[in-house]
Structure 1
Amino acid sequence: METERFEALIDAILAIIITIIVLEIPLASNGSWEALFEIKYEFLIYAISFMVCFNFWNYNNNIFSIVNKIDPKVIWTMGITLFVFSLLPYLTTFVAENFYIFFPQFLYGLCFIVTAILSKLISKFLKESDPANIALQLVLEKDYIFAMTIVLVIVGMIIGYFAYPPAIIICCLLPIIAMWTVPKLRNQL
């Protein structure tokens, strides 16, 4: 199967997810700085969720730009990944309204872990569906970012459980920052 329509579907779903996230940001109660400061957690978690969505789109856009063909395993695994990822608007609001509570932060981190595991599977299935594509094989050969995401979020969950729940969301953001700043990881973009 060709990839153009599949890429368009991924783009459309991510656009909808970002739209829902931004629509969930509450309006400030009035035109003052204090009113804006009252929704600081909502805006912070929105900004993180936006970066997550953008990073997911960017990674997939770059990967699928070199993919020549896909098979049903890739399609269904990406469909499941997008389903899990589509929970992000709900989890964004859940965390924003309960910023210092472990369980919402845990669910947000769990979404990251499941997405990373499924993305690792997608990489494996892409390599299998397009074995003659040397560029794809090389790019997907060292996809450390998924393992790093899983480890960092688990560390954040441990810290979040015992001490500071927002550590989870911070640890969700760290792999994205690393991917954009560490040259070895940036090559995976």
Structure 2
Amino acid sequence: MEKERLGAFMDAVLAIIMTILVLDLKEPKTFDLQGLWELRESFFAYTLSFFWLGTMWINLHREYSAVEKISQKTVWAALLVLFFSSLFPYATRLISLAFYSSSMQVVYGVISLLISISVLYYTYTLEEANPNLDAVHRYKMKRLSWMKWDMPIKLIGLILSATLFPPAMSLALLFNLCILVIPNQLKN
């Protein structure tokens, strides 16, 4: 498969997934500021998920631009990324409906961890298919440098959501986005 075809497919599916997120926003019970305020958890969940998927897309795009060829493993790894990403609107809907539910936050956290793990595998397959490309290796090393913080923070959020403080998973993702991911992307 040509690299452009896989890239276009991933872009299209991620765009659809991000669009589906907005379809789950409910209408307010009353059409005033109070009605909108009652939906604050829904808007928070939507915003967090949209920007989390958006930053993932930006990272994937940056890595992918340096790639010269892809392997069959890369195609399957991309499908894994898209599969787990396609579950994100569902998980977002669950936490928007029951933001303070430990179970729903854990589902959200598990799906975000599965997406992160599948992205790491996808990155590995790109480097494997392009062993002599220094740019691919640099992107992988850069990703691993902040993922060593990203994954433990997500795991702590998951554990706290399951035991003590249900919104901890969403807050862990927000922290990662605002402190690790977005500032790292804006530097480059």
Structure-2-length-normalised TM-score: 0.92
SS of 2:182's partner is helix
SS of 1:69's partner is coil
- The percent of aligned pairs where both chains have the same amino acid is 28
Which has the larger displacement, 115-124 or 81-90? 115-124
CA deviation after TM superposition for structure 1 residue 102, in Å? 0.5
Q: For residues 22-68 of structure 1, what are the alpha-carbon distances to aligned partners after superposition, in whole Å with 9 as ceiling and x for unaligned?
A: 01100112321111111111111000011111111111111111111
Within 5 A, what are the aligned runs for 1:18-57?
Answer: 18-57=18-57
Match of 2:172 in 1: 171
CA RMSD of the aligned region, Å?
A: 1.7
Match of 2:158 in 1: 157
Equivalent pairs, count = 186
Q: In the alignment, residue 182 of structure 2 is paired with which amino acid?
A: W
Q: Is 1:66–1:136's contact at 8 Å kept on the other side of the alignment?
A: yes
Moved over 4 A (4+): none
Q: Is 1:116–1:147's contact at 8 Å kept on the other side of the alignment?
A: no
Match of 1:65 in 2: 65
Structure-1-length-normalised TM-score: 0.92
Structure-2 separation of matches of 1:26 and 1:106: 22
Structure-2 separation of matches of 1:47 and 1:93: 12
Q: Is 1:145–1:175's contact at 8 Å kept on the other side of the alignment?
A: no
Structure-2 separation of matches of 1:174 and 1:136: 27
Structure-2 separation of matches of 1:161 and 1:139: 33
Structure-1 separation of matches of 2:187 and 2:17: 24
Which has the larger displacement, 28-37 or 92-101? 28-37
Structure-2 separation of matches of 1:165 and 1:153: 13
